[in-house]
Amino acid sequence: MHHINDSKKVKIALLTISDTRNFEDDRSGKTIKSLLEAANHTIIDYKIEKDELHLIQEIVTDWTNNAEIQAIILNGGTGFSPRDVTYEAITQLLDKKMDGFGELFRMLSYEEIGPKALFSRAVAGSIGSTGIYALPGSTNAVKLAIEKLILPTLPHFVEELVKK
């Protein structure tokens, strides 16, 4: 079924989670930003924050309370190192989890990198009427997620979140 609003431009906030990155060397954040803008979506805010659960949750909560922001994309902190807390930060906040997102992302990643795809804890879902995606920090991983999963479905996802 074709949805008339699927071509809608989405207003997005972007958060890179890293203890070491800055705006100059945040390749994954820049990749996400350029792919979204090339598809005519708008980046409302873009931040870099350390791998600290409460800091990630504070930013995401502020953004979900901003009616202008329709979706939030995070990258980094989804692995298994002791500092990786993005998955925990986001899943504690989600109202609804998009179970298939992580599964499909890992399947597609498996085709590119093999069994190491298992180490990604990519997750998506919603908080209120805001779509949330948490991606690994690898530039190849964010490119895969944006091109294969997010861009083809983002306008429809946002449309579903505001349905009455």
The CA radius of gyration of the chain, in Å to the nearest whole number, is 15
pLDDT at residue 1, as a whole number: 39
- Place 7 in a pLDDT band, splitting at 50, 70 and 90: low
Q: What percent of the chain has pLDDT over 90?
A: 94
CATH code: domain 4-161 is 3.40.980.10
Q: In b/e form, how buried is each residue of 88-111, taking b as 16+ CB within 10 angstroms?
A: ebbeebbeeebeebbebbbebbee
pTM of the model: 0.94
Residue 128 has pLDDT above 80, yes or no: yes
Q: If you average pLDDT over every residue of the chain, what do you get?
A: 94
Residue 4 has pLDDT above 50, yes or no: no
